[in-house]
Structure 1
Amino acid sequence: MSFDQIPIEQKQEVLNKLREVKEAFAGRNWFPGTAGNLSIRIGDYSPEQFYFGVTSSGKDKYENTPEDFIFVDQDAKPCEATNLKPSAETVIHTEIYRKTGAGAIFHIHSVFGAVISEYFWHRRSIPVDGVELIKGLNIWEEEYQLEIPIVSNFLHVPSIVPEITEKLDPKVPGIFLRKHGIYAWGANAFEAKRHLESFEFIFEYVYRLEMLKKGLPTV
Structure 2
Amino acid sequence: MSTFHEAQASVMELAQFAASRGWLPATSGNLSVRVSEEPLTFAITRSGADKSRLRPEDVLLLDAQMQVQGETLYKPSAETTVHVALYEKFGCGSILHVHTVYNNLVSELYAERGFVEIGGHELVKALGHWEEDAAVRIPIVPNWADLHRLGSAVADAALADVPAVLVRAHGVYAWGDTPDDARRHLEAVEFLCEYVYKLHVARVAGAV
CA contact (8 A) 1:75 1:91 kept: no
CA contact (8 A) 1:136 1:194 kept: yes
1:25 aligns to 2:18 (yes or no): yes
Tell me which moved more, 74-83 or 20-29.
74-83
In the TM superposition, structure 1's runs of 4+ consecutive aligned residues that sit over 2 Å from their partners are: 64-67
CA contact (8 A) 2:85 2:152 kept: no
Amino acid at match of 2:120: G
Superposed CA RMSD: 1.7
How far off its partner does 1:141 sit? Answer: 1.7
TM-score, length-scaled by structure 2: 0.94
What is the aligned partner in structure 2 of residue 186 from structure 1?
176
- How many residue pairs get matched? 208
Equivalent residues in 2 for 1:29-108, closer than 5 Å: 29-43=22-36, 45-46=37-38, 49-108=39-98
Identity %: 36
CA contact (8 A) 1:151 1:178 kept: yes
Q: Tell me how far apart the structure 2 counterparts of residues 115 and 173 of structure 1 sit (CA, whole Å).
A: 19
CA contact (8 A) 1:130 1:146 kept: no
What is the aligned partner in structure 2 of residue 14 from structure 1?
7
Amino acid at match of 2:23: W
Structure 2 vs 1, CA of residues 66 and 171 (structure 1 numbering), >3 Å: closer, same or farther? closer
Which ranges of structure 1 fall in alignment gaps of 5 or more residues? 1-5
How far off its partner does 1:162 sit? Answer: 2.4
TM-score, length-scaled by structure 1: 0.90
How far off its partner does 1:197 sit? Answer: 0.2
Which ranges of structure 2 fall in alignment gaps of 5 or more residues? none
How far off its partner does 1:134 sit? Answer: 0.4
User: Which of residues 176, 189, 202 in structure 1 aligns to 2:166?
Assistant: 176
Q: Tell me how far apart the structure 1 counterparts of residues 98 and 156 of structure 2 sit (CA, whole Å).
A: 22
Q: Tell me how far apart the structure 1 counterparts of residues 154 and 18 of structure 2 sit (CA, whole Å).
A: 24
Amino acid at match of 2:74: L
